[in-house]
Amino acid sequence: MTEVTLLRGGYVLTLDDELGEIPDADVLLIDGGIAEVGVDLQAPEGADEVDCRGMLVMPGFIDTHQHLWNSFFRGLTTGVGERAYFPVKRRLAALVTADDTAAATLAALWESAASGITSVVDWHHNLRSPDYAEATAAAHRVSGLRTRLAYGNPDAWDATRTADLDDLERWASAGVGPLSDLGLAVRGPTRSEPAVLAAEWEAAARLGLPMTMHMGGRRSDVDRYADLRAMDSAGLLVPALQVVHAVDADEEELRLLAHRGVSISLSPATELGSMGAPPIVAALDAGVQLSLSTDSLALPARADMFEQMRTVVRLGNARGGAPVTPRTALSLATREGARDLGWDHVVGRVRPGLRADIVVVDARRLGFAVALDPVLSLVMACGVEDVHHVLVDGRWVKRGGVDLTGLDAARARSHAALRALLARAGWAVGGTGEGDVAVAGQGTE
């Protein structure tokens, strides 16, 4: 049976250079695809007609780097001492089970969906065995979101050992899911021996997989900040590679990344909090392909691309040079994310022929009807609480502000998994000191 939905009368931000922004427009969806975009479209017989007057209709947000497996550490990490992110991860990662991973992954994906994020790259740096990959992929499929499993290694993995390339090849052959694909999360030259680098880069090339690599924050963090010039000399800067953060990249390095076709995923709220201000204007001026990402809910943070967009605008302007406009920030969070992932022929714009990953933001409480610049209002004044409708591949995951994914149950499962994990770790529950941990009851943040 054909499924037909007509989104009626919204202000459509297509993010498409040809179509532009269309006030009081309609978007017709048929069987999960965008069929028409225009004014006063005829509703086909039996169409589900949805009133979007006074609302913004736009592509779903695309999060190009999120560590889903440890999302249930949120509230456990404080940024101080043994409760800082990395000490917590080192203490608990080896005790996290495959079932824990599935619970945390699903809760994080559904929180992302509720906030308007329709595509997520799962940057998985604690895949401890093929069972963990199975559990993670199952959570991706259940979520209904468009995802990429960036297949990595167990936390604190031996620098002389590759990720499980045999299992990677199995997934490359079998596929992750109907809306999911596969990538390789690499540690890079600071945490891998040359033979490991060669093997992982060769595997990605042979299997046709994209790669993603953390590149620390500050240049002084030698354990995490890769030397881009040395990587280029070794032939490691290839178009299939994305680097994450790269906060201290200088102008010459940024030009090198642009020349080699290497992209950067920025997590500006995280970077500003612990790494420094990312060189947004310089990267844009150099022509680097940029996208935006959440990083990890464990920091603690929430899945909130509005925050990332606002941070981009404010940081970009603070760094000087040409201003970073709200439209640029919105493009980075949608269309440019799709380009970064090689998905721009599928999603990232509201255009006929693409799939219907669409978010409708209700800005009426902000006086949207008289706003002179709706994109300015969207980026600088709206938030996740204004996300009214969300569709992924034409399927409703949020409608009328009501979440349809089972997020509350997923969070409860995730919280229960954290309690059991802390018990296995011998980490006291109930105290409020640096070493003790208080875990909120079911159904709470």
Sheet holding 211-214, edge to edge: 61-66, 117-124, 146-151, 180-186, 211-214, 241-244, 263-266, 290-292
Which range marks the domain in which residue 80 is found?
Answer: 61-341
- Residue closest to 72 by CA, chosen among 296, 381, 273, 226: 296
Q: Which of 72-76, 353-357, 360-364 has the highest mean pLDDT?
A: 353-357
| Residues 256 and 148 both lie in one domain | yes
Contact call for residues 89 and 317 (beta carbons, < 8 A) = no
Q: Which residues of 223-242 are buried (b: 16+ CB within 10 A; e: fewer)?
A: ebbbbbeebbeeebbeebbb
The total number of structural domains in the chain stands at: 2
| Residues 195 and 283 both lie in one domain | yes
Q: Which helix (H) or strand (E) holds 313?
A: helix 305-318
Overall size of the chain counted in residues: 445
User: Is pLDDT above 70 for 430?
Assistant: no
Within-domain flag for 409: no
What is the pLDDT at residue 445?
24
Distance CA 280, CA 301 (A): 21
Burial class of 199 by CB neighbour count within 10 A (0 to 12, 13 to 18, 19+): middle
Q: Which of residues 305, 320, 341 is at a domain's end?
A: 341
Lowest mean pLDDT among 4-8, 145-149, 212-216, 406-410: 212-216
Within-domain flag for 428: no
User: Is pLDDT above 70 for 110?
Assistant: yes
User: Is pLDDT above 90 for 146?
Assistant: yes
Distance CA 445, CA 441 (A): 9
| Residues 293 and 365 both lie in one domain | no
- Residue closest to 441 by CA, chosen among 427, 428, 426, 429: 429
Distances (CA, A) of 272 to 21, 275, 387: 32, 6, 25
Q: Enter the pTM of the model.
A: 0.95
Q: Where are the alpha helices (DSSP H) in 115-227?
A: 130-143, 165-174, 194-207
User: Is pLDDT above 60 for 384?
Assistant: yes
Distance CA 128, CA 139 (A): 16
Helix, strand or coil, per DSSP, at residue 401: coil
Q: Which of 19-33, 77-91, 366-380 has the highest mean pLDDT?
A: 19-33
| Residues 54 and 72 both lie in one domain | no
Please, what is the average pLDDT of the chain? 93
Q: Looking at this protein, which amino acid is placed at residue 432? A: T
Across 179-188, average pLDDT: 98
| Residues 335 and 379 both lie in one domain | no
| Residues 21 and 116 both lie in one domain | no
| Residues 16 and 136 both lie in one domain | no
Query: Cβ neighbours of residue 252 under 8 Å, at least 6 residues apart?
Result: none
Q: Which residues of 376-390 are buried (b: 16+ CB within 10 A; e: fewer)?
A: ebbbebbebebbbbb
437: confidence class by pLDDT, cuts 50, 70, 90: low
Within-domain flag for 263: yes
Query: Cβ neighbours of residue 266 under 8 Å, at least 6 residues apart?
Result: 245, 278, 280, 290, 291, 292, 293, 308, 312, 332
Lowest mean pLDDT among 260-264, 281-285, 340-344: 281-285
| Residues 108 and 9 both lie in one domain | no
- Reported as a single tens digit per residue, the pLDDT across 289-324 is 999 999 999 999 999 999 999 999 998 888 666 789
Across 98-123, average pLDDT: 98
What is the pLDDT at residue 368?
72
| Residues 375 and 267 both lie in one domain | no
What is the pLDDT at residue 435?
52
| Residues 256 and 289 both lie in one domain | yes
**CATH no. for residue 10?**
2.30.40.10
β 402-403/146-151 pair status: unpaired
Across 41-46, average pLDDT: 91
Within-domain flag for 443: no
Distance CA 209, CA 163 (A): 14
What is the pLDDT at residue 427?
92
- Reported as a single tens digit per residue, the pLDDT across 216-274 is 877 888 778 889 999 999 999 999 999 999 999 999 999 999 999 999 999 999 999 88
Q: Which of residues 341, 368, 394 is at a domain's end?
A: 341
| Residues 354 and 295 both lie in one domain | no
User: Is pLDDT above 60 for 180?
Assistant: yes
403: confidence class by pLDDT, cuts 50, 70, 90: very high
| Residues 299 and 353 both lie in one domain | no
